[in-house]
A and B are shown apart, each in its own frame.
Chain A
Amino acid sequence: MTARPLGRLPGHVLVLWLGVSTNFLLPRLIPGDPLQFLVGEEGSRLTPEQRQAVLAQFGMDRPVLEQYGAYLAGLARGDLGVSISYGASVAEVIGARLPWSLLLVGGAALLAAAAGFLLACLFHRLAAGRTRIYFMGAVVGVGSVPAFLGGMVAIAVFAVQLGWFPTHGAVALDAEGPAIVGSVLHHSLLPLATLTLAQLPSFFLLARAGLEGALRSTYTMLARAHGVAPWRILLWHAAPNALLPFINHLGITLGGLVGGTVVVETLFGYPGMGSLLHQGIVAHDLPLLQGVFLCFVLAVVMANASADLLQARLDPRLRTLEGPAS
């Protein structure tokens, strides 16, 4: 059963290595100098010894190839280096931010997927004629609003005018005990809704197309001929088949979203990976950027691998094509 995904393993490993190496290289192509951020304009006036003394604290005083070797060796040990802007281990800094992003990204992707699928079902079941056009226009229109604008509106209306939600942050700083859970949910709702709405149309359109194909197939025609209830045909017969490309898309979205929350996190002052990426770029913090990009690569690879595994489990045709289950 897992033969196909395992067969793809070397591909995933290759992608990972390429990603890791690109992570190392790309930040170094950004014009600038981390010393500018650390010591201001005097960065360019330091003697070679002074430069080395500052950069040595971050392992950046060595030749690039040596840094690359140290980076790979560090990765093998789980050591991502030391952040320039935080003065702390990159792994620690990321460890403090990643859970917030996973909550936001995972929640948004799952909500968008569920809502998109549900709306697609409603679209097929309830809408007809012009209503279909309005329905589709409304969903695509809502999702086309840029996240920063939607977020600003959400803050202005729901946080400032109505006072229902906090404007920023991930948790109330004075929350203790079980109240933390409620506070986290309370704080995450607006950014979560903003991200969910931004992702919704792609899931809706994919599910709509998948359901349409499935509803035109011979097996659903047969079910209809047997007098099976329309809702049952939709959910029981058409939906499972329409889900397959949907799951692939969910995998891609999940991976991509981890790195795609910069705007929403900045807008809502949310302490996730997006704001960390922003800080890494602003500060020319090469070790931090390497670590953050590594997480993004891992997220994409793992999300795609998971989607492969899930697809193999859900689609009997894949199992048949690849022989008996292992």
Chain B
Amino acid sequence: MRAAAGTAGLQWASLALWLLHSGACDSGRADPPDILRIAIPDEVGQLTPYGAAVPETLLGLVYDKLAAPAPYMGQARPHLAAAITSETADGRRWRIKLRDGIRWHDGAAFGAGDVAFTLTFYRDGPANRWTHHVSETPRIVGVAIIDRLNLEIRCADPCPQFDKVTAADLPILPAHLWGNVREPHRYAGPLVGTGPYRVVAFAAGRYARFEANASYFAGPPRVPALLVSFVRNPATAWAALRAGELDFVSSSLPPELVEPFRRSPQLAVIAGDPMTAVELRMNFEREPLSRPDFRRALVLAVDPDELARRVVPGAARSGGAGYPHPDSPWTAPGMGLRSDVGRARALLDELGFIDRDRDGRREDRAGAPLRLGIKISSSEPLQLRAGEVLMAQLKAAGVASRLEVVDPAHHRGLFVTRQFDLVVSEISAHGLADPDQFAQSHRSGYLWRAGRPHPELEALLSRWRRAETPEERLAAGFALQRLQRSEPTTMALYYQRGFFAYRPVRFAKWRSVPGLGVFHKWSFLPEQSL
């Protein structure tokens, strides 16, 4: 714990040092203005939907989806598709009519065969991040090509939100290049999509260079070329931005750096909503967290307003707005939470966790001290700060806790190993604002695990699966969310706002799209394309 705190302290020291140089001069090179230089903090090894942890917004430059821009706000419209219409009242069959005249970057014609191939390949081939959205939620059991531009899909259960959610989620692959691929995670073929940018150079883990697809069906991109560098350390990327070596950094600025960057004459800051949150997940498979009342008591003991105020002042919304994302149209109204330490204490007393030896910490009925571990990734200093505030809040309710800082791989692996009591982590828009994923998370182990008995939840999931219309599906989703609220397995601590620094003299038309942030293809496309 001490070592971890030291590490975080060093990281903050480096940021503080950074602030000393707020008056840095602009020493940027005069690069051709037709290339926009961007840094992202991920070391992208493969630029395909099978690449591990490749940002979807980067993929979106190359690959398109049937609907756009995203499945998060219920506003997805046909994109590669000209129309996506329900064929039956039970929401099981959908007809997809594709736009005519679209071509892959290599010149091949795009058509129904590509869509049919992609859906089938994601479902039957080696799994990727999208597999469960064709094999399970929803379960697509039939894909029939009607003609070159028309196809029909059939779901085992109703899939009433196929047009707004599933169609806006799956990137489409070219069948003529991927048709014979048996090991997609090792794909080494041409990086060809239908998107607004074609890949002209890619060095794994270092950079990717893109050129505009002038014949893009949604209009030619405004920036002729992009050079995306993979710079793992955001502080280095921000330094490069100040030095004029970059034009945009896709990492959100920490609160302390927003104002210094705003004040810099060469730089500007744009706010974007990535629809992400930092959450506190509870291991519902471990005592005493397996008891819903105990989890509820913890949630009542936590004050998300104070957390947001102290950890990310001015840069986040309190998690008291509720879970999942309060801005999503798929989220039930009235999901807000109010901290109540008194009720938390009373609940813990009722459960038999009482401070018997008057040392300020509760013990269970057998007299064993109650002490929870809070695991935090060593790469997230802000979350470490959140953990420290959390510890103090839990202590006020008599719950002793300790911070356990672990490396990022270990932290990610906790999902499988389940070696935690509480874990602070970040959740993306996909988990927070995609209604299908919310249901899926109750099966995957994220919010609940399939096979773990919970009759009420199973009934609600069954109702959700059987819902035939968008309205019924929405109502079933709301019921699921209310159950999560009353028997929480996670809670949002704060919803981060993204603040992205850029050089306006190079490019100033960045656009915020909820769930995608600012760096995405829509920033480079004509206004009317979205």
A208: chain B residues within 8 A (beta carbon): none
**Does B27 contact A36, Cβ atoms closer than 8 Å?**
no
B112-141 near A? 1/0 per residue, CB < 8 Å: 000000000000011111011000100000
**Does B232 contact A284, Cβ atoms closer than 8 Å?**
no
Is the C-beta of A266 less than 8 angstroms from some C-beta in chain B?
Answer: yes
A112 nearest CB across to chain B (Å): 23
B135 nearest CB across to chain A (Å): 9
A265-305 near B? 1/0 per residue, CB < 8 Å: 01111010001101101111000000000000000000000
Give bound CA distance, A180 to B25, whole Å.
Answer: 27
B240: chain A residues within 8 A (beta carbon): 159, 166-168
B528: chain A residues within 8 A (beta carbon): none
A35: chain B residues within 8 A (beta carbon): 416
**Does A275 contact B186, Cβ atoms closer than 8 Å?**
no
Name B133's closest neighbour in chain A (CB-CB).
A42
Segment of B295-303, B393-401, B444-452, B510-518 in the binding face: B444-452
Q: Which of A31, A269, A281 contacts B232 (CB 8 A)?
A: A269
Segment of A6-14, A149-157, A196-204 in the binding face: A149-157
Q: Which of A30, A44, A83, A266 contacts B415 (CB 8 A)?
A: A44
Is the C-beta of B441 less than 8 angstroms from some C-beta in chain A?
Answer: yes
**Does B233 contact A267, Cβ atoms closer than 8 Å?**
yes
Give bound CA distance, A36 to B409, whole Å.
Answer: 9
Is the C-beta of A21 less than 8 angstroms from some C-beta in chain B?
Answer: no
**Does A281 contact B409, Cβ atoms closer than 8 Å?**
yes
* Best-surrounded residue of A42, A58, A152, A276 (most CB of chain B within 10 A): A42
Is the C-beta of A222 less than 8 angstroms from some C-beta in chain B?
Answer: no
Give bound CA distance, A266 to B45, whole Å.
Answer: 16
**Does B413 contact A33, Cβ atoms closer than 8 Å?**
yes
A93: chain B residues within 8 A (beta carbon): 204-205
**Does B239 contact A42, Cβ atoms closer than 8 Å?**
no
Give bound CA distance, A275 to B50, whole Å.
Answer: 22
Q: State which residues 15-73 of B face A: CB under 8 Å.
A: 17-18, 20-21, 24-25, 27, 43, 45-46, 50-53
B217: chain A residues within 8 A (beta carbon): none
**Does B236 contact A269, Cβ atoms closer than 8 Å?**
yes
Q: State which residues 66-91 of A face B: CB under 8 Å.
A: 82-88
**Does A82 contact B186, Cβ atoms closer than 8 Å?**
yes
Is the C-beta of B206 less than 8 angstroms from some C-beta in chain A?
Answer: yes
Is the C-beta of B231 less than 8 angstroms from some C-beta in chain A?
Answer: yes
Name A174's closest neighbour in chain B (CB-CB).
B31
A45: chain B residues within 8 A (beta carbon): 132, 136, 443-445, 450
**Does B27 contact A163, Cβ atoms closer than 8 Å?**
yes
**Does B205 contact A279, Cβ atoms closer than 8 Å?**
yes
**Does A41 contact B409, Cβ atoms closer than 8 Å?**
no
Name A52's closest neighbour in chain B (CB-CB).
B126
Give bound CA distance, A32 to B131, whole Å.
Answer: 21
Is the C-beta of B497 less than 8 angstroms from some C-beta in chain A?
Answer: no
Size category of the A interface is: 35 or more
**Does A36 contact B45, Cβ atoms closer than 8 Å?**
no
**Does A36 contact B413, Cβ atoms closer than 8 Å?**
yes
Give bound CA distance, A278 to B227, whole Å.
Answer: 23
B377-401 near A? 1/0 per residue, CB < 8 Å: 0000000000000000000000000
Name A39's closest neighbour in chain B (CB-CB).
B127
Q: Which of A32, A146, A149 contacts B412 (CB 8 A)?
A: A32
Q: State which residues 23-58 of A face B: CB under 8 Å.
A: 30-33, 35-46, 50, 53-54, 56-58
CB contact under 8 A between A42 and B132, given known A156-B17, A163-B25, A278-B232:
yes
Q: State which residues 420-459 of B face A: CB under 8 Å.
A: 431, 440-441, 443-446, 450
CB contact under 8 A between A44 and B235, given known A152-B18, A173-B209:
no
Q: State which residues 132-171 of A face B: CB under 8 Å.
A: 146, 148-149, 152-153, 155-156, 159-163, 166-169
**Does A282 contact B409, Cβ atoms closer than 8 Å?**
yes
Q: How many residues on the B side are at the interface (Cβ–Cβ under 8 A)?
A: 70
* Best-surrounded residue of A44, A152, A161 (most CB of chain B within 10 A): A152
**Does A36 contact B46, Cβ atoms closer than 8 Å?**
no
Is the C-beta of B339 less than 8 angstroms from some C-beta in chain A?
Answer: no
Give bound CA distance, A236 to B248, whole Å.
Answer: 56
B407: chain A residues within 8 A (beta carbon): 281
B206: chain A residues within 8 A (beta carbon): 271
**Does B46 contact A86, Cβ atoms closer than 8 Å?**
yes
A149: chain B residues within 8 A (beta carbon): 10, 13-14, 17
Q: Which of B203, B233, B413 contacts A31 (CB 8 A)?
A: B413
Is the C-beta of B103 less than 8 angstroms from some C-beta in chain A?
Answer: no
Give bound CA distance, A38 to B131, whole Å.
Answer: 12
Is the C-beta of B207 less than 8 angstroms from some C-beta in chain A?
Answer: yes
CB contact under 8 A between A168 and B127, given known A149-B10, A161-B21:
no
A72-116 near B? 1/0 per residue, CB < 8 Å: 000000000011111110000100100000000000000000000
B21: chain A residues within 8 A (beta carbon): 156, 160-161
Give bound CA distance, A33 to B409, whole Å.
Answer: 9
Give bound CA distance, A37 to B409, whole Å.
Answer: 9
B166 nearest CB across to chain A (Å): 15
B203-220 near A? 1/0 per residue, CB < 8 Å: 111110100000000000
Q: Which of B52, B417, B440, B446 contacts A37 (CB 8 A)?
A: B52
**Does A166 contact B245, Cβ atoms closer than 8 Å?**
yes
CB contact under 8 A between A42 and B205, given known A160-B243, A163-B25, A169-B229:
no
CB contact under 8 A between A155 and B410, given known A45-B445, A45-B450:
no
Q: Which of A30, A87, A146 contacts B409 (CB 8 A)?
A: A30
Name B23's closest neighbour in chain A (CB-CB).
A161
B441: chain A residues within 8 A (beta carbon): 41
Is the C-beta of B183 less than 8 angstroms from some C-beta in chain A?
Answer: yes
**Does B239 contact A57, Cβ atoms closer than 8 Å?**
no
A241 nearest CB across to chain B (Å): 41
Q: Which of B14, B245, B445 contacts A44 (CB 8 A)?
A: B445
Give bound CA distance, A61 to B345, whole Å.
Answer: 49
> Can you name 6 A-B residue pairings with CB atoms under 8 Å?
A36-B416, A45-B132, A45-B136, A156-B17, A168-B231, A279-B45
Given contacts A30-B409, A32-B410, A88-B188, 18 further A-B contacts (CB under 8 A): A30-B413, A31-B419, A32-B409, A33-B416, A36-B415, A41-B431, A43-B416, A54-B126, A57-B186, A148-B10, A149-B13, A155-B239, A159-B240, A160-B242, A166-B240, A278-B232, A279-B205, A283-B52
Interface residues of B (CB under 8 A from A): 10, 13-14, 17-18, 20-21, 24-25, 27, 43, 45-46, 50-53, 125-129, 131-132, 136, 183-188, 203-207, 209, 227, 229, 231-233, 235-237, 239-240, 242-245, 407-410, 412-417, 419, 431, 440-441, 443-446, 450
Q: Which 3 A-B pairs have the closest CB atoms?
A: A163-B27, A32-B413, A86-B45
